[in-house]
């Protein structure tokens, strides 16, 4: 089973506040958490996969300067 990441851990990882994490979820910057009752969390495997997809997409759109 994947490790669960709560918003406090995610905020610490990115160096932002939990308010920023909630704003990122609201505006679609990061995927929404899984909710189980009043508990919300991200599964580490799902979040890591989302970051890899985002990185791959951004690498395709980066234009390198010509020498």
pLDDT (tens digit per residue) in 30-49? 899 999 999 999 999 888 88
Q: According to CATH, what is the number of the domain 4-61?
A: 1.10.1660
Asked if 45 and 51 touch (Cβ cutoff 8 Å), the reply is no
* Integer angstrom CA distances of residue 14 from 17, 20, 31, 38, 66: 9, 10, 15, 23, 32
Domain boundaries, the chain: 4-61
24-56 core/surface letters (b: 16 or more CB in 10 A; e: else) = bbeeeebeebeeeeeeebbeeeebeeeeeeeee
Residues 54-67, mean pLDDT to the nearest whole number: 61
pTM across the whole model = 0.73
**pLDDT over 90, % of the chain:** 54
pLDDT score of 25 more than 50: yes
């Amino acid at each position: 089973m994947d490790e669960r990441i709560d918003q406090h851990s995610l905020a610490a990882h990115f160096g932002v506040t939990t308010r920023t994490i909630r704003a990122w979820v609201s505006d679609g910057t990061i995927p929404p958490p899984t909710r189980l009752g009043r508990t919300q969390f991200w599964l580490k495997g799902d979040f890591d996969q989302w970051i890899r997809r985002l990185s791959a997409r951004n690498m395709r759109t980066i234009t390198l300067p010509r020498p």
